Amino acid sequence: MLTIETTKRALAELWALPIASRIGLAVTLVAGVMDTVVHLLGSGGHAMHHGPLPEHAAHVLGIVGMVLVLAGVVFHGARRQLSRRAAAAINGGLDPNAPR
C-alpha cells in the first residue's frame, strides 16, 4: 500500500514539473538506456572502443537531457518571479494593506 501511495505521489510531482523538464527527464532516461546497451553489447570490455558514434551520442544525449531539465526549472522560476512582480505592480506593492 505504501508503494502505491508513493508511486501516486511521485507521478503527481512529475506532472507538476514544467514541460521542458519532463522532456529532459525522458531524454536523459533514453540516453542512460542507450549508454548501458552500448557498454553491455561491447564484447571487448574497456580495452576496445565501441566506435565514436554510439558511445559519444549517448553521452551527448544525456547532457542535452540535463540541460533541458535545468532550463525548464530556470524558466519556470523566472516566469513565476515575473508574474509575482507584475501582480505586485498592479496591486501597488507586495502588501496591499501596508500603511501609506
**13, 57 in Cβ contact below 8 A?**
no
**66, 27 in Cβ contact below 8 A?**
no
More confident site: 97 or 14:
14
Q: At residue 25, does pLDDT exceed 70?
A: yes
Flag whether the pTM goes above 0.85: no
Mean pLDDT of 32-54: 73
User: pLDDT per residue over 45-98, tens digit each?
Assistant: 555 555 678 888 999 999 999 999 999 999 988 887 777 666 665 655 556 565
